[in-house]
Amino acid sequence: MTKTDPRTRFVQCEACRHIRLDEVGLCPECWTAGSGQEVVLEAIEGEIYSYTCVHPREGEPYWLAAINLDIGMRFIAPIVGNEIPTIGMRVCLTSASLAPVSEVMAKVFTEEDRGIV
Amino acid sequence: MRSVYVGAPGMTPFGRYPDMGVVELGALAAAQSLRALPERNSVQAAYVGCVYGGSLVGQRITRALGYSGLPVVNVENACASSGTALHLAVKAVASGELESALVLGAERLSALGRGTIPVPDDEVDARQGVILPALYAMRANRYLHETDSTVEDLCAVVVKNRRNGARNPLAHQRSMVGPEEVNGARMIADPLTKYHCCPNSDGAASVVVSSRPVASSPVRILASVLEGGVRLDDAVSLTDFATAASAAAQAYEQASLGPRDISVAEVHDAFSIAEILYYEAFGWAPKGEGFTLLRSGATQIDGRLPVSPSGGLLARGHPLGASGVAQVVEVWKQLSGVADGYQVESPRTAFCQVSGGGISGMDTGVTTVHILTL
């Protein structure tokens, strides 16, 4: 686990319970100031809405996915590891030290995660 | 509200100008507009769109043109900067606040170097590895998933607009490309190769808006809409272009027109997929069938609704702050019958749209739509 940029933390407003990214320390729904209660990244799940593979001029290609999070917002995150994303795939967010460009990534659920094996 | 006329177009060729600054580019375009007017004081204010020109860029340009005491409004609204500048000027003239104004867009994007336009590094998307082509690539992959379209349809947009741009002496990219070349080019964000992405251009464009015909031109602005971006929650479709669709609906209402009344259009085709999605957002094709409109040939330069006859952003180029006014210059030429080499047949009503994007968590930052007529 790496230390996450405080602006990329998900927090839950203590006043209205809205979950948001803690960009400016202000809830966009009720305008209550304060950081709120941090939500554990791995508890935030969602479904891949779309994806692409970015090919930087220099460096390795990496997968990005737009994820419809179950908390009601869409969030873009790189995909951990070698999984190739597809639309509809379930993922959870995670903080990963192997991130090439990010600290908050999406981890594709494996069969092991689902308790199938 | 009174009528607002537009004319006296000025525009530099778009391209790369390593030896010129944004002030020089802006002044060259504006001078073309001002020369068409009876006197210097024919404009009472200047509205200037620019993204990376620095502080007071409009004043530096008007100073270079010899003005003293001219009110200047500088506008930064990303790719919709000069579209927004035009909107403000139109409202000022329509309301009677001004009789006439110069509207200018200028940019020297090559100063940023090569590669994609940077997303502000305090934006969460930037920290997440998002580049602008990736946002459109995700729109493309979702569209390919939802419809029977193929990557060849995206290529066809590029081929069409590059063919158009080859006829436009002011276009940045003046060479035609075929589907094989488009597909075989360097991948930027799958499925978009570099030809699916507009070039980073330098350039400037200007017009004059007035309560009376400008330099005897009868072209009028029927609608001018500025629409704010919508937040992306899980209910917002990336293939809807919700902000642009809302702007277009308002513009049709202002103009008392419908989608079928448009006879030529310049849209924000910064990436190939965008043009197809805009066909649907603007009511020119049903949802999910934009690619069939393209396949029908209707949006070719000799079709019933030519889109991006100038080459669009994909070929004419995209100097961010200049693109909104450049579209108006191009459709003014079409309506006036002076688009030599790329004239569409007898257009009566023209549609222009630019959107300023690159903001995390939103569909886009802003969209402007203008409808012009003879």
* Number of Cα atoms under 13 Å in the Cβ half of residue B114: 5
Task: Mention every residue, 6+ apart, whose C-beta is less than 8 A from residue B29.
Answer: B10, B11, B12, B104, B106, B203, B204, B205, B206, B322
State ipTM: 0.92
Query: Which is catalytic among the residues B50, B79, B155, B198?
Result: B79
| Average pLDDT over all residues of chain B | 96
pLDDT at position A116, please? 47
Which residues of chain B have a CB within 8 Å of the CB of A77?
Answer: 128
* Residue B332's pLDDT band (cuts 50, 70, 90): very high
* Residue A99's pLDDT band (cuts 50, 70, 90): very low
CA–CA dist B139, A30 (Å, integer)? 31
Q: Is B155 a catalytic residue?
A: no
State whether residue B63 sits within 8 Å of chain A by CB.
Answer: no
CA–CA dist B33, B53 (Å, integer)? 21
**Structure pTM?**
0.94
**From the candidates A58, A70, A76, A89, which should be mutated to test the interface with B, based on the most B CB atoms within 10 A?**
A76
Using the predicted structure, report yes or no on whether residue A97 has a pLDDT greater than 60. no
The CA-atom distances, in angstroms, between B315 and each of B133, B196, B199, B282 are 16, 10, 7, 22
* Residue A103's pLDDT band (cuts 50, 70, 90): low
pLDDT tens-digit profile of B181-213?
Answer: 999 999 999 999 999 999 999 999 999 999 999
Q: In terms of DSSP bridges, do strands A37-38 and A10-12 run parallel, antiparallel, or are they unpaired?
A: antiparallel
A8 vs B283, residue with greater confidence: B283
Retrieve residue B208's tokens.
């004059």
Cβ of B234 and A49 within 8 Å?
yes
